[in-house]
Structure 1
Amino acid sequence: MTALLLWLEAPLQSWGVDSRFGRRDTLAFPSRSGVLGLICCATGRGGEQEAWLAEMKEYTQTVAAYSRLENGKPDIQPLLRDFQMVGSGYDASDPWQDMLIPKKTDGKRPVGAGTKMTYRYYLQDMAFACALDVPEAYADEIILGLQNPVWPICLGRKNCVPTDIVYRGRFDSQEDALATAGEIAQTKRRAERFRVAHGRVEGGDVLTLNDIPIAFGLRKRYEDRQVTILEQ
């Protein structure tokens, strides 16, 4: 086993766990499924990846959240809500434009325009250090992928493009990785707000998240895990 440090920073990030089409929420921190999905993009792993995910299930991650400092205090930005209308403004008499209008399950157009309204939420100006345990056998492949991604990587959603180098080193433990993350944060004038630890840890709030991926692809499946939020 080896620990990799990922630095996840961007103007916008969105890490959904239980979202639906009409309302796409975000966690306050990167999800397990989001981080593994990022690695799949980086390494070119497509499809369900059940066998690989089964191996990765035995390993854990710890996340530290950093806000920018303004006048010596953390500058905590509110969630950004983006309102979008999908399928509006198209001419149904045009065969090409008609393909872009949302349809019912039977393939027919609904009564009216068929427009879908969605609300999408984003974290603003946050940075996260993710200390990720990985099998030694996959470490070199993952590092190469993060440095030279096969497919574009994003921080939760495709419009959340990282604005700094993601891969920040290979370590013997998550503790060593997070110590380096603290040094990176200092150079960026960022302060740690909270930490997300695997499992139950005394002194924090325990959450149950349905974000351990069992299969990606068209029919995604997940299992629950527990994490503890430790305020700093």
Structure 2
Amino acid sequence: MSERTAVLTLCLAGPLQAWGASSRFERRMTERAPTKSGVLGLLAAAEGRDRGADLSDLAALTFAVRLDQPGTRVRDYQTAHHGDTGKSMPVSERFYLSDAVFVVAVEGRETLIDALYTAVRAPTFLPFLGRRSCPPSRPIDMGVHRGGLWRALRAEPWQASAWFQRRRVRERRIELEVITDLVAGDGPGDAVRDQPLSFDPRHRRYGLREVHSTAVTVANPLGVSRRTPDLPSQHDPMGLLED
């Protein structure tokens, strides 16, 4: 009998995030949502795995990310000098996502998901949002769900900041984009190179992964009805002006 599955959900929120999938050299880009390699790296670090450790169990997890607050892409640059010669190094451009909030879901064997949940609640190495300069602004652990990945994504409340939710106060229900692994029957998708094969710093390796975009609908906790409330029948707007 095969082992039951479970889903771990994580909230990734912070002033800055950076999720690169193919950037190299002096120009370091960011994807518009967390990458599978970045999130699995966070989970491996929480468990205290060595960079050369086997990743096959993590790589087999089904992965999805819900875009609760897309954020804004910002650009920074860095300068440096060689430690031995003092010679100036090339200026590097770094791109980040500012004020973004995501809900990530990973689905897999129940024993593995439970172990990962324990690890993120008491991580061996502190989590960061793509780069070490990007710490999370909230606890990342949300919980473990039974009943499938999509049920978990619909069950988790909208995690956007209150100021962002107030922008859509007239909407009782919010449709949120979800980027997930492509499975048979999902239709056309896109290929991204963020399937981790090895985090060994001497030879990092990533494979291609097919993804596609869809959506789920969640409640807006600040949403109000579009209907204008009825005015009292005895209301007289000119009454205060009378003698």
Please give the residue correspondences for 1:13-52 in structure 2 after superposition, counting only pairs within 5 Å.
Answer: 13-50=17-54
Are the equivalent residues in 1 in contact too, given 2:60–2:108 (CA < 8 A)?
no
Residue 57 of structure 1, CA deviation: 2.8
Are the equivalent residues in 1 in contact too, given 2:68–2:158 (CA < 8 A)?
no
**CA pair 139-193 structure 1, distance change in 2 beyond 3 A:** closer
Partner of 1:73: none
Moved more, 136-145 or 25-34: 136-145
Question: Are 2:74 and 1:80 equivalent residues in the alignment?
Answer: yes
TM-score (norm 1): 0.78
In structure 2, the residue corresponding to 1:185 is in which secondary structure?
Answer: coil
Residue 196 of structure 1, CA deviation: 0.2
Q: How many Å separate the matches in 2 of 1:192 and 1:7?
A: 18
Give the AA of the match of 1:36.
L
Residue 41 of structure 1, CA deviation: 1.2
Partner of 1:207: 190
Unaligned ranges ≥5, structure 1: 68-75, 89-96, 102-112
Q: How many Å separate the matches in 2 of 1:203 and 1:175?
A: 14
Please give the residue correspondences for 1:82-97 in structure 2 after superposition, counting only pairs within 5 Å.
Answer: 82-87=76-81, 97=83
In structure 1, the residue corresponding to 2:159 is in which secondary structure?
Answer: helix
Are the equivalent residues in 1 in contact too, given 2:72–2:100 (CA < 8 A)?
no
Q: How many Å separate the matches in 2 of 1:10 and 1:227?
A: 25
Select 2:84's aligned residue among 94, 98, 106.
98
The alignment's C-alpha RMSD in Å is: 2.4
**CA pair 77-32 structure 1, distance change in 2 beyond 3 A:** closer
Select 1:137's aligned residue among 111, 114, 130.
111
CA-to-partner distance for each residue in 1:10-38, whole Å, 9 max, x for gaps?
A: 11110000001200101111101001000
Q: How many Å separate the matches in 1 of 2:94 and 2:111?
A: 38
Please give the residue correspondences for 1:62-81 in structure 2 after superposition, counting only pairs within 5 Å.
Answer: 62-67=64-69, 77-81=71-75
Q: Paired residues, what number? A: 201
Residue 185 of structure 1, CA deviation: 2.6
In structure 1, the residue corresponding to 2:179 is in which secondary structure?
Answer: strand
Are the equivalent residues in 1 in contact too, given 2:68–2:160 (CA < 8 A)?
no
Q: How many Å separate the matches in 2 of 1:77 and 1:135?
A: 32
Give the AA of the match of 1:55.
D
Runs (4+) off by over 3 Å: 186-193, 200-205
Select 1:180's aligned residue among 136, 155, 161.
155
Partner of 2:61: 59
Which of the pair has more CA radius of gyration?
A: 2
CA-to-partner distance for each residue in 1:125-183, whole Å, 9 max, x for gaps?
A: 111111111322322321111111111110111111111121111111112221232x2
Residue 205 of structure 1, CA deviation: 6.9
In structure 2, the residue corresponding to 1:223 is in which secondary structure?
Answer: strand
Unaligned ranges ≥5, structure 2: 166-173, 217-243
Select 1:5's aligned residue among 5, 9, 19.
9
Percentage identity across paired residues of the two chains: 28
**CA pair 230-148 structure 1, distance change in 2 beyond 3 A:** same
Moved more, 121-130 or 133-142: 133-142
Q: How many Å separate the matches in 1 of 2:135 and 2:77?
A: 19
**CA pair 10-187 structure 1, distance change in 2 beyond 3 A:** closer
In structure 2, the residue corresponding to 1:160 is in which secondary structure?
Answer: coil
